[in-house]
Amino acid sequence: MFDLSIIIVSWNAKDYLRQCLVSLQRARAELSTEIIVVDNNSSDGSAEMVAREFPQVLLVRNATNAGFAAANNIGLRLARGKYGALINSDVEVPRGCLESMVGYMDQHESVGMLGPRMLTPSGEIGPSCMKRPSLRIWLASALGLARVVQGAGLHIIHPESLKTQEVDVLNGWFWMVRKSALENVGLLDEQFFMYGEDIDWSRRFWDRGWKVVYFAEAEALHYGGASSARAPVRFYVEMQRANLQYWKRYHGRTSQAAYLLIVALHQVFRLLGYGAVYALRPQARADAGFKCRRSAACLQWLVTPEGRNLAA
């Protein structure tokens, strides 16, 4: 058995993936590791690059884009490590990060999932964790109050102040999970194509009695959006779909109806607001127009058969 199985899902992120794999060659240090790359039918030569430049990596080539959860599960089923590290393709892992995380897991047997501090390309601390969603949080977001009312937002406003602590949700950019916990909790839910699986998985770890911990003593660089940037409107709609799917799973019909109304209002407010920006500030039209298209696409999706069925 390896100390650690490192699983990377990639879709059309060849340059980021190369940087990630190079960083892992340095970061493994004294740990016994295996690296598994699951390519979601990339068209940019990602799989060919891995086979050519990193022959020691176990490469899985999916015939279609299976989605984030399903592709990670493929890697987890192949993994032979005591722990599994699920790392996004647009992450660079520095020396000491993996060793420190494995050491913490070894010393804290009740921890099922661990996530490091996120560094952004600008040098700031990014959002590695968040609170479990509630109607209050969604409503505050819809009304633009998430950053005004203390504690009303989904994300931590000042992540740089966080110490190592238990959290509701670890965002799915970099997870380390205990194999014995997986046997109890189960794999990622493949009904979540992309987004939402982190909220669901974190909740399932907690429900099964395993702690979910943000680990401030280790950090890694996350560029962000390497795959979703290829199709930003599509993935924005996918995020709304995942959130609605999560809400339907854990809440009753009345709560579901309230949530759906909040989502619709949120997108209408965004459409009106960014429409006004587009009309009144010509210098901001590119960004405002893009955000109008995203909200319009989300509203359109909500009234399609798929959106109606999920909301039913």
Percent of the chain exceeding pLDDT 90 equals: 62
pLDDT band at 138, cuts 50/70/90?
confident
**pLDDT (tens digit per residue) in 259-286:** 888 988 889 998 999 999 999 998 989 8
Give residue limits of the domains in the chain: 2-228, 231-311
pLDDT band at 37, cuts 50/70/90?
very high
Tell me what pLDDT residue 4 has.
97
Both structure tokens of 24: 């892992």
**pLDDT (tens digit per residue) in 44-58:** 999 999 999 999 999
Per the listing, tokens 């003593």 go with: 217
Percent of the chain exceeding pLDDT 70 equals: 93
Tell me what pLDDT residue 159 has.
81
**pLDDT (tens digit per residue) in 151-203:** 667 777 778 889 999 999 999 999 999 999 999 999 999 988 777 899 999 99
Cα-trace Rg, the chain: 20
pLDDT band at 150, cuts 50/70/90?
low
pLDDT band at 149, cuts 50/70/90?
low
- Its pTM stands at 0.85
pLDDT over 50 (residue 228): no
d(CA 154, CA 151): 8
d(CA 270, CA 289): 11
What are residue 248's DSSP bridge partners?
A: none
Mean pLDDT of all residues in 58-75: 95
How is the chain split among helix, strand and coil, in percent rounded to 5? 50, 20, 30
Q: How many residues does this entry show for the chain?
A: 312
Both structure tokens of 96: 């000491």
d(CA 267, CA 277): 15
pLDDT over 90 (residue 301): no
E-only strand ranges, the chain: 2-10, 33-39, 58-61, 81-87, 91-92, 111-119, 125-126, 129-130, 165-166, 169-170, 174-178, 211-222
Per the listing, tokens 């209408």 go with: 268
CATH code for residues 2-228: 3.90.550.10
d(CA 173, CA 45): 22
pLDDT band at 59, cuts 50/70/90?
very high
pLDDT over 50 (residue 111): yes
Tell me what pLDDT residue 152 has.
64
Mean pLDDT of all residues in 28-56: 96
